[in-house]
Amino acid sequence: METLLKINNLNLGFEIDDKFYPAIKDLSFELKKGTIHAIIGESGSGKTMSVMSIIKLLPKNAKITSGEILFEGKNLLNLKENEINKIRGKKIALIPQDPMTSLNPLYNIENQMIEAVIEHKKCSKKEAYDIAINKLKEVNVYEPEKKIKAYPFELSGGIKQRVIIATALALEPDIIIADEPTTALDVTVQAQILEILKEIKNKGKSIILISHDLGVVSSYADFISIMYSGRIVENAPCRVLFKNPKHPYTKALIEALPYNKEKKLKNIKGTPSPVNEIIEGCEFHKRCDYAEDICKSKIFHLCQQEDLSNVACRLYDC
């Protein structure tokens, strides 16, 4: 399976009050062509910052200290702003987190959709309009000719999210980053949006899907990365991860899912540490049922297993 995007040992942090705090630590994963790769973690674990690094949309106080992001033979981190602008949207598109606030309330959908199409494709307004209508149809927007004339406040959350997805698809990108695309949507609409993403994948697109809910993505992702406190602790094909979870954090997340009625739900003890707290050793050791003294001082890196999973834990250290 062809690798479309590869991140190697990415490190990123924030400068706060003249101090530097690591937020992303030795991040490594690959996006295979025609797959959905989900990144799962609690709020504040670094999921969004990880993918925003790909298209270099980071806060001013964020600083990438090392690593590489390889796409089409180039390290995206070395590109200048005018070079990355040619990739944003056209090659790598973003579906932002909140459909309620991602659209400009002062412009109708037509103006917002065709602007990017005209800019990147250098086509006429009529051609851009036709592309927009076709993409709205592709994501199952009813009466697209009517909806495209509407303003955001006139549309439901589900339709707004479809519009955002259609806008991302309009430039025919190779990669789509979906940052918690079901946020603030009801359960039925969540399933519809995820089905749309699955259909997009089946047409050959590659998707990075960010979520805090392992249960939601379990039926849609091909590969899953589990992230904790800025570090990926386990990478695995979806079926492998659910059949044989290895990292204690992954096990705890699965045991907390309410799908097995025969077993009592388990809570993960403690709370995630804030970004400005420096933890020695494994970041999860304070909450881990399997922690030993070595976990308090040693950082474990991803170690490949026979079932194609990678895990960073003393239980599976290389």
245: left (phi over 0), alpha (psi -120 to 50) or beta: beta
Q: What is the pLDDT of residue 133?
A: 96
Q: What is the pLDDT of residue 116?
A: 81
Given a cut of 90, whether residue 207 has pLDDT beyond it is yes
The pLDDT tens digits of the residues spanning 40-70 come to 999 889 999 999 999 999 999 999 999 999 9
Domain ranges of the chain: 3-91+173-316
CA-based max dimension of the chain: 66
Q: What single-letter amino acid sits at 119?
A: E
Given a cut of 90, whether residue 17 has pLDDT beyond it is no
Q: What is the pLDDT of residue 259?
A: 67
Cβ-based neighbours of 160, under 8 Å, separated by 6 or more: 99, 100, 102, 103, 152
The pLDDT tens digits of the residues spanning 180-204 come to 998 878 888 888 999 999 999 999 9
Q: What is the pLDDT of residue 60?
A: 92
CB 69 within 8 A of CB 75: yes
Q: Domain spanning 3-91+173-316: which CATH class is it, in words?
A: alpha beta
Average pLDDT, the chain: 91
**SS3 (DSSP) at 226:** strand
Q: What is the pLDDT of residue 256?
A: 85
CA pair distance 173, 58, nearest whole angstrom? 21
Residues in the chain: 318
* Mean pLDDT calculated for residue range 124-131: 94
CA pair distance 194, 191, nearest whole angstrom? 5
